[in-house]
Structure 1
Amino acid sequence: MPVTLAAASENFGRDLEENYRTIERLVAEASAAGADLLALPEAAIGGYLSSLGGHGDPSTPESLPPAIRLDGPELARVAALAGDLVLVLGVCEADGPETDPVRYNTAVALTRHGVLGVHRKVHQPLGEHLSYAAGDSFSAFDSPVGRLGLMICYDKAFPEGARTLALDGAEVVVCVSAWPAARTAGSTDLAEDRWTKRFRLYDQARALENQIVWVASNQAGTFGRLRFVGSASVIGPGGEVLADTGVAAGLAIATVDVPEELATARRAMFALRDRRPDAYALDGRVAEEELVDA
């Protein structure tokens, strides 16, 4: 049975009440379009870091989003807004002692009935380790729109994460992002920025090489020193872009018969079945430290 998938390109900052209003508006727009799933960006509750890569210390309190508990009132409020949707969004998660919690950059999939799945960002770009602990795994889970996998932003640059989800049976992977434009040698035309092009290329490659449906959300506009590239999209298992917001704010919405599309893509070329793991393993001739130094 076809499902309708929506991905948001939108700006989320520190004002939580404004975040909730934006979520409510996007849920209404997606629901009016018949969506079954809506992907909001990374850091949709409280915004992302204000800088990366040496522009000040992003771990200072005034630069950090509020850390929330997965069972706390913030996500309960989002769940109450979700209506009939599967809603995916990014948060700064607090885990551990109340007095000194560990922070994670986390993606959460939920419905009005509660949390379906959680992913803590594994791969950290410049400076993010100052603000967040890293996750250590990728796993898929069942959802009303099929078996679902979650990723966050820089995770998409590493093919192993998406491949792990695909091998765990993920049919749809949602990657939520706060992906900025290039900090150096950037383009005044955001659509032509090299980091915008990179963002889109990763999305299409991950969908194609795993023959899965890919849903990519992203922050839009600016926050602190960061200018985000938008470019939310829904991509089919052949790497074809089914819907795209461009660099502006908006929703990318596409209706997909997921089992049929996956079966069609895998009829002539089955990238998962035809793998040869025995040929990929290092046999000791290349030491790990040599790979690091290369």
Structure 2
Amino acid sequence: MNMVRIAAAAAHFGRDLDFDLARIGKIIEDARGQGAGLLVLPDAALGGYLADLRHPDPEALPPALKPDDPLIFQVARRAAEMTVCFGYCEADGNLRYNAAVCVNGDGVLGRHRKVHLPAGEVAAYMPGDTFDAFDTPVGRVGMLIDYDKTFPEAARSLALGGAHILACLSAWPTSITNRAPRTRQDRQSRLFDLYDQARAAENQVVLASANQTGAMGGMRFLGQSKVVGPGGDILARTFGKAGLAVADIDVAAEVERARRVLHHLDELRFDAYRGSP
């Protein structure tokens, strides 16, 4: 068996980059203390998320970091032997992207720019244009940033690229337009869990979902970080609190077991789907 301990973090991050870096370092040490080989941190772990998703203030956007910013490599050094995925606002000239990077002590293993932007983000970010899986010491990984996982094609593209682990990094709030009195009754809370489980089950992969907690501006983030098996079963979760969802799984063996009889990727019928190549 080749067991991997996967940790998905629920935590709050804001505009103070020094504070964020210290919190990331503390979470890495907590995950290392529990023996994690893969740690997935939330979207916008360096610099925080937008304060207002409906009408983002151009003067209050997260700090934009270049892809080679020293802070990214500080996280990589702290990761050392561990594989760590985290989100930040990426600067490309005058353009900004909601971005994620996967690192270890050797440097950058993979990158992703959020492709699917909800209405408010369009005013702050440019969309990415690709989904790319990449190899890591814990297996082949693909990354999604919050709203990306709403679209089945996004996760499917990564699975077709050979990803056995999907790292989903989110700053996913409760419903902005129809907030429920209790989180468990909230529409966005239900959808967050539904998408995590569906994306894992339909692609027969392991999914590690990390989300922010606390509040930013008028938004309150859900937490609900979790590790999901290739059958859609939740193996570990944080519920609404900050912390780590930690699960041990032999990724290759469990993916193979899930695909032994019904292998969804092999049974696709691309010729029958509208808009397929």
So what's the TM-score if we normalise by structure 1? 0.91
Kindly indicate whether the alpha-carbon contact (under 8 Å) linking 1:220 and 1:247 is maintained by their aligned counterparts in 2: yes
- What amino acid sits opposite 1:23 in the alignment? I
Q: In structure 2, what is the equivalent of residue 78 of structure 1? A: 75
- What amino acid sits opposite 2:106 in the alignment? H
Q: In structure 2, what is the equivalent of residue 174 of structure 1? A: 167
**What is the CA distance between 1:187 and its match in structure 2?**
1.7
1:56-93: CA deviations, max 9, x gaps? Answer: x41422x2110001111111221122132111000100
Calculate the aligned-residue CA RMSD, in Å. 1.1
- Looking at structure 2, the residues matched to 139 and 231 of structure 1 have their Cα atoms a distance apart, in angstroms, of 25
Kindly indicate whether the alpha-carbon contact (under 8 Å) linking 2:213 and 2:221 is maintained by their aligned counterparts in 1: yes
The reply on whether 1:235 has 2:228 as its aligned counterpart is yes
SS of the residue corresponding to residue 217 of structure 1 reads: strand
Unaligned runs of 5+ in 2: none
Q: In structure 1, what is the equivalent of residue 214 of structure 2? A: 221
The reply on whether 1:37 has 2:38 as its aligned counterpart is yes
Count of aligned pairs between the two proteins:
275
Kindly indicate whether the alpha-carbon contact (under 8 Å) linking 1:38 and 1:85 is maintained by their aligned counterparts in 2: yes
**What is the CA distance between 1:188 and its match in structure 2?**
2.3
Q: In structure 1, what is the equivalent of residue 15 of structure 2? A: 14
Alignment of 1:109-188 (within 5 A): 109-188=102-181
So what's the TM-score if we normalise by structure 2? 0.97
- Looking at structure 2, the residues matched to 84 and 192 of structure 1 have their Cα atoms a distance apart, in angstroms, of 40
1:87-106: CA deviations, max 9, x gaps? Answer: 1000100113xxxx211000
Residue 90 of structure 2, aligned match among 59, 81, 93: 93
SS of the residue corresponding to residue 8 of structure 1 reads: strand
Bigger-Rg structure (1/2) = 1
* Identity among equivalent pairs (%): 49
SS of the residue corresponding to residue 115 of structure 2 reads: coil
- Looking at structure 1, the residues matched to 58 and 190 of structure 2 have their Cα atoms a distance apart, in angstroms, of 31
1:233-283: CA deviations, max 9, x gaps? Answer: 000000000000001111000011011100110112111111111111359
- Looking at structure 1, the residues matched to 183 and 211 of structure 2 have their Cα atoms a distance apart, in angstroms, of 14
Kindly indicate whether the alpha-carbon contact (under 8 Å) linking 1:179 and 1:229 is maintained by their aligned counterparts in 2: yes
Unaligned runs of 5+ in 1: 284-294
- What amino acid sits opposite 1:40 in the alignment? L
Kindly indicate whether the alpha-carbon contact (under 8 Å) linking 1:156 and 1:202 is maintained by their aligned counterparts in 2: yes
**What is the CA distance between 1:185 and its match in structure 2?**
2.4
- Looking at structure 2, the residues matched to 195 and 77 of structure 1 have their Cα atoms a distance apart, in angstroms, of 34
Moved over 2 A (4+): none
SS of the residue corresponding to residue 223 of structure 2 reads: coil
SS of the residue corresponding to residue 26 of structure 1 reads: helix
